[in-house]
Structure 1
Amino acid sequence: MTLRNQVLVWVGFFVATIFLLWIFRPILLPFVVGMALAYLLNPVVNIIGRIGISRPWASAIVLVIGILVIIGMLLMLVPLVGQQVVGLITRLPGYVTDLQALAQGLVPQLTEWLGPERTAQVEASLADLITRGVEMAGLITAQVAQSGLTVVNTIAVLFITPVVAFYMLLDWEGMTERVDDLLPRAYRDEIRGVLNQIDKSMAGVIRGQGSVVLVLCIYYATALTLVGLNFGLAIGLLGGLLSFVPYVGFAIGFVLSMTVALVQFWPDQWLFVLIVLAVYLVGQFLEANILYPKLVGQSININPVWLMFALFAFGLLFGFVGLLLAVPLAAITGVLTRYALAKYQASSLYRGPEPEPAAPKVDLVVPPVRKPPARRPTRAK
């Protein structure tokens, strides 16, 4: 298969996948969650299977334990977090108003430092920024809720997701073997290499990124609650959950925390404002230098700008399902793009035509011609 045909096949496959996702987007949520859960639990099922337990029983045991753990966490956290989320949404306009009043107290100092015209410009810019930020957050939340978190989808996730995950765990090895049997014999090793890279990248997305999100949720929620920040548990969980988007989780959590901290602690307990600031600086350091390199590493290998674009684009097209699929599809696209670039750089289109082999050198030195020895004249008898 030529390079051109390979590129056409992969591009066609990608376009067909996006088209099918767009058609079936209203019913995809339980299947996507079920497949992600099966992919996440498959290594545990393999470990239990080595002990001697059959694949069906191992799949059932692992899936039941995983569901019980998720249900237990929800039962413990949902009542408390739900109250804090409702309280934060109710109090957020008041916090914004209090923060603006706090900023108004600093206007005389800013006027003395910047002048009246620049101070008015800064004040107008901040007000416009806050208004646009609140409107954008509301639109994104409404879009996600309308497209993905309907009552039907919620019921489907609760009842269909475990069934999908169980049957995928049950037949995981068979599916991989059937896919391997369908690979073209001439290109089997090359395609296996690409699929192994995709598997490594997906493991980094689902397992590594999921571990990072879990650790950050625990860290931010615990630290902000211990500081005594109002709605610290909800803000910490929100920032941790959104940390799968580069810098977005940190930015949202930091802005909300500092807004609440300034209104709650300033100026009498200003030290707690610095503690909240330190919590986020330490969290960002841990994420960038310890958690992400150790748990995710270079398996995703995607520029953060493209990752954010994929999240916003897929979220706009497919709603909540798009947010779940954006990072895995971006990882797969990155693997295929790197493979295509490697093939392109190894092709004659990039290297140019091969130079013709040089003609063998011909030795043009003519050997000296030896003259025959002179004949002696014969004497006459």
Structure 2
Amino acid sequence: MKQMSTRSQVIWWGAAMAALLLTLWLLGQAILPFIIGAGVAYLLDPLADRLERAGLSRTASVVLITLVAVMAFVGFVLFLAPMIVRQATQLVNAAPGMIEQFQDFMIQRFPGLLPEGGTIRAGLNNLAAAIGERGGEIIGSVLGSVAGMVSVIALLVIVPVVAFYLLLDWDRLVAHVDELLPRQHAPTIRRLAREIDQTLSGFLRGQGTVILILGVFYSLGLMLVGLPYGMAIGIGAAMLSFIPYVGVLIGGATAIGVALFHFWGEPVWIGAVIAIFVIGQVVEGNYLQPKIVGNHVGLHPVWLLLALSVFGSLFGFVGMMVAVPLAAALGVLVRFMTEQYVESPLYTGRQREAEQPLPVLVELVPDGTRDALRRRDGDETGPQADHGKMR
């Protein structure tokens, strides 16, 4: 059978990738629950494997995981989500007044810094007006779009069902996909798939654990010191922590700003708010990130932000859902192509040497050895026997 050329394979696989992206763009909202379900199954598969090794069957492991996950999600929707949304809305509505009070305070204490008609003063006025006019609209539109695309039925019915069945058959699906790999490139594809899995799982599971820990720490800490909107600020700072220093800077600046207005004249509580974010940053940088996420993930924050921006603009909310796995896959493929480029003539400037055939081993024996061996083995001699042997 004639072997397919590399160019033909590239064309076929490029067409398959284009068809996949077109499907994402056309189906969008319809396939979103299935994408979420597949992502949940992928994240929970190691836990199911661990329960299997502990003695449970695959079915019992999946049922237990599904029940716990559904209960946790329902608890979040019923108890935490309304509080977070309410506090975030109140914070946005209160922000213009805080900015105006800060501006009045600065004018009274340091009139030279904010002259009438100055750039800083105009910028503060514009910021307060923008937050007051657009802040509530942004929260409402975000919540409305998410609620529209991820409907209650999809979250409560389709996603758990898809995740359950995919998690139940995950190992068989992986084995079946492995059987369908093109045989010529199967070892390379398996190697790239392992690297993508290490990058993606390390980032999602590791960073998700870090966000959960920081969210609990920031929220409880700010609520214990009595800071208004403490849960919303803590959750927001934790969710932004996947970008180094951005979460602590934005969350810390917001918390300290609120503390200055709420605890004015009480420096102990203002210092407590600052200490919460300092401790959180120290623990995250020196323990959580190195121990949980590690340095082997290889998913740079700038690369992740670019993927979220590009795929989100192209495919909407569905694109943002698949941006992280696609960013991980593209990062591994770029590193692989870089390795191939460094070894290619395009980089070295030298053509690769053709593979030399294996040498043929020739054994030299004294004359008469062949006839002696034949007589020893009882073979017939003579031209007729030789002719029969050669046939």
TM-score by length of 1: 0.80
CA contact (8 A) 2:99 2:124 kept: no
Change (3 A) 1:183 1:83: closer
Shift, 1:203, TM fit = 0.6
In the alignment, the residues of structure 2 paired with residue 271 and residue 156 of structure 1 have an alpha-carbon distance, to the nearest angstrom, of 47
In the alignment, the residues of structure 2 paired with residue 341 and residue 356 of structure 1 have an alpha-carbon distance, to the nearest angstrom, of 21
Q: Deviations over 1:74-111 (max 9, x none)?
A: 44434xxx246325423533343133223322224433
**More displaced stretch, 100-109 vs 162-171:** 100-109
**More displaced stretch, 184-193 vs 62-71:** 62-71
Identity %: 38
- SS of the equivalent of 1:340 reads helix
Partner letter of residue 346 of structure 1?
E
Are 2:317 and 1:320 aligned? Answer: yes
Change (3 A) 1:24 1:74: same
Are 2:29 and 1:31 aligned? Answer: no
Within 5 Å, give how 1:94-109 maps onto structure 2: 94-109=94-109
Shift, 1:239, TM fit = 2.3
Partner letter of residue 330 of structure 1?
A
In the alignment, the residues of structure 2 paired with residue 7 and residue 131 of structure 1 have an alpha-carbon distance, to the nearest angstrom, of 53
CA contact (8 A) 1:99 1:263 kept: no
In the alignment, the residues of structure 2 paired with residue 35 and residue 21 of structure 1 have an alpha-carbon distance, to the nearest angstrom, of 15
Partner letter of residue 25 of structure 2?
W
CA contact (8 A) 1:205 1:296 kept: yes
Change (3 A) 1:93 1:230: same
- SS of the equivalent of 2:118 reads helix
In the alignment, the residues of structure 1 paired with residue 299 and residue 47 of structure 2 have an alpha-carbon distance, to the nearest angstrom, of 28
Are 2:172 and 1:156 aligned? Answer: no
Q: Deviations over 1:3-59 (max 9, x none)?
A: 877776666555443322221211233212211221122112212223444322322
Are 2:21 and 1:18 aligned? Answer: yes
1:198 to 180, 196, 199: 196
Are 2:120 and 1:122 aligned? Answer: yes
Question: Aligned residue pairs: how many?
Answer: 351
CA contact (8 A) 1:3 1:343 kept: no
Match of 2:305 in 1: 308
2:334 to 333, 337, 340: 337
Partner letter of residue 183 of structure 1?
L
Partner letter of residue 50 of structure 2?
I
In the alignment, the residues of structure 1 paired with residue 75 and residue 306 of structure 2 have an alpha-carbon distance, to the nearest angstrom, of 35
In the alignment, the residues of structure 2 paired with residue 60 and residue 115 of structure 1 have an alpha-carbon distance, to the nearest angstrom, of 63
Q: Which runs of 5+ in 2 are unaligned?
A: 355-391
Q: Deviations over 1:148-192 (max 9, x none)?
A: 322862221111111101110111111111111122223222111
In the alignment, the residues of structure 2 paired with residue 139 and residue 245 of structure 1 have an alpha-carbon distance, to the nearest angstrom, of 26
Q: Deviations over 1:189-225 (max 9, x none)?
A: 2111100001111211321111111111111101111
Within 5 Å, give how 1:163-242 maps onto structure 2: 163-242=161-240
In the alignment, the residues of structure 1 paired with residue 252 and residue 16 of structure 2 have an alpha-carbon distance, to the nearest angstrom, of 41
In the alignment, the residues of structure 2 paired with residue 344 and residue 321 of structure 1 have an alpha-carbon distance, to the nearest angstrom, of 33
Change (3 A) 1:183 1:329: same
Shift, 1:321, TM fit = 3.3
- SS of the equivalent of 2:260 reads helix
Superposition CA RMSD, Å: 3.1
Partner letter of residue 306 of structure 1?
W
Shift, 1:307, TM fit = 1.6
Change (3 A) 1:83 1:353: closer
In the alignment, the residues of structure 1 paired with residue 209 and residue 345 of structure 2 have an alpha-carbon distance, to the nearest angstrom, of 44
In the alignment, the residues of structure 2 paired with residue 289 and residue 333 of structure 1 have an alpha-carbon distance, to the nearest angstrom, of 29
Change (3 A) 1:206 1:226: same
- SS of the equivalent of 2:151 reads helix
CA contact (8 A) 2:33 2:159 kept: yes
- SS of the equivalent of 1:24 reads helix
In the alignment, the residues of structure 1 paired with residue 287 and residue 135 of structure 2 have an alpha-carbon distance, to the nearest angstrom, of 30
Change (3 A) 1:116 1:56: closer
Shift, 1:146, TM fit = 4.2
Q: Whose relative contact order is higher, 1 or 2, with alpha carbons under 8 Å and at least 6 apart?
A: 1
**More displaced stretch, 41-50 vs 173-182:** 41-50
In the alignment, the residues of structure 1 paired with residue 215 and residue 91 of structure 2 have an alpha-carbon distance, to the nearest angstrom, of 22
Change (3 A) 1:329 1:73: same
Q: Which runs of 5+ in 1 are unaligned?
A: 358-381
CA contact (8 A) 2:100 2:128 kept: no
